[in-house]
Structure 1
């Protein structure tokens, strides 16, 4: 028997973009195409980081689309962005954060359930998870569910998505380890009462610890069963 007994005593709640896969370049391209059709130029990585990263679409599009933006127009733009992004994932794929496949193998061996928790739209989440599962053999059995921030009462940085994720895996938040790459997600995980680990794909380790992370890692190769056990000791 592994470090965790047959009945799960710990779970992992996983952000998707920037945590499981490096999707920002594909999202930037999707926004470039979408905003060009709206007559907006200058969409690059810095624009994306300022206006999009970590935010839900209902907020993003009311701030970046020119002119008056009601819910209908924002929803239509969100759906088109998701269509463009999913097409990019299907045609180009995306880079998976190193060590992820081994992490899911550890979760399967140690009976650690996982739930994906994201502020992205469901279509984009499912496209990336499909790609991850195609490249990580144990991901399908490890990832039990998906929580979408926009489908909760409040999205990240509020705790609701991670509280819901803990409920989906049947454990209290205090027994759940959140993996995040953004300040928004870290704040949500801490507020939910989870232990938060930061992957330094978009923030420095020191900034992540200042935001509330209990630990940071460069990639998934550092996340062993012993590492997980130590976080909840």
Structure 2
């Protein structure tokens, strides 16, 4: 079924692991930060700690809530600075992303970003990829929404676009992000960068699993929503 403008729909994108494959660099940045302040984490424990959470939430968890607002802000800024320094030379989109965004815009499909990342990192990524103008709304940790897997940021993105939750299709990679979108009542296209396709299909009732955006086009993506509404 082809997308029809008579059936309004929207696309909402996570960033890290969805638009760019940056999760390894985030992990390296956290390891460097913790090294600088004398904390140690096993890599597996670190990954469980950081996925889907805001930087401030991660720091509160790491310090057991025993951290002042001043120190929280200082360490948050330091971690994101480390990340941008590490990732800047490697900032590239997930294959097929730019073409997908361009075709979606030509079809008149509104798009938003909904991420747990800091606004500085979001702007760094979107401007670095040259895609800021594609999005009608951009939401990050400045919204004050509860971290994923709570659905808050996806529901906020839908409201910002003036869309019903069931008319939004989310592109996500992480388990907590997929959970958040599903709890928001949205369909999900899962990008298999953080989990394998098999893990995703076994754990979540997603509409589609892709390895990159070369495996899907906006018309077929839109049909994942409109086919249930016809």
Give the TM-score, by structure 2 length: 0.87
Aligned residues: 224
Counterpart CA distance in 1 for 2:140 and 2:111 is: 14
2:146 to 129, 143, 154: 154
1:112 lines up with 2:105 in the alignment:
no
Partner of 2:9: 10
| Deviation at residue 65 of structure 1 after TM alignment | 4.4
Partner of 2:55: 57
- 3-state SS, counterpart of residue 96 of structure 1: coil
| Deviation at residue 163 of structure 1 after TM alignment | 0.6
Partner of 1:231: 224
1:199 to 183, 187, 191: 191
List alignment gaps of at least 5 residues for structure 1.
134-138
Whose relative contact order is higher, 1 or 2, with alpha carbons under 8 Å and at least 6 apart? Answer: 2
| Residues 198 and 215 in structure 1, CA contact (< 8 A), matched pair in contact too | yes
Partner of 2:97: 100
- 3-state SS, counterpart of residue 88 of structure 1: helix
Counterpart CA distance in 1 for 2:86 and 2:107 is: 34
Structure 1 stretch displaced more, 21-30 or 99-108 = 21-30
Partner of 1:136: none
Partner of 1:20: 19
Partner of 1:40: 39
Tell me the alpha carbon deviations over residues 25-76 of structure 1, each in whole angstroms, 9 at most, x when there is no partner: 32233223311211134565x3541221211223211232499423432232
| Residues 112 and 142 in structure 1, CA contact (< 8 A), matched pair in contact too | no
Structure 2 vs 1, CA of residues 130 and 20 (structure 1 numbering), >3 Å: closer, same or farther? same
- 3-state SS, counterpart of residue 22 of structure 1: coil
CA RMSD of the aligned region, Å?
2.3
Structure 1 stretch displaced more, 195-204 or 153-162 = 153-162
| Residues 52 and 177 in structure 2, CA contact (< 8 A), matched pair in contact too | yes
- 3-state SS, counterpart of residue 63 of structure 1: helix
Structure 1 stretch displaced more, 59-68 or 118-127 = 59-68
Counterpart CA distance in 2 for 1:154 and 1:32 is: 24
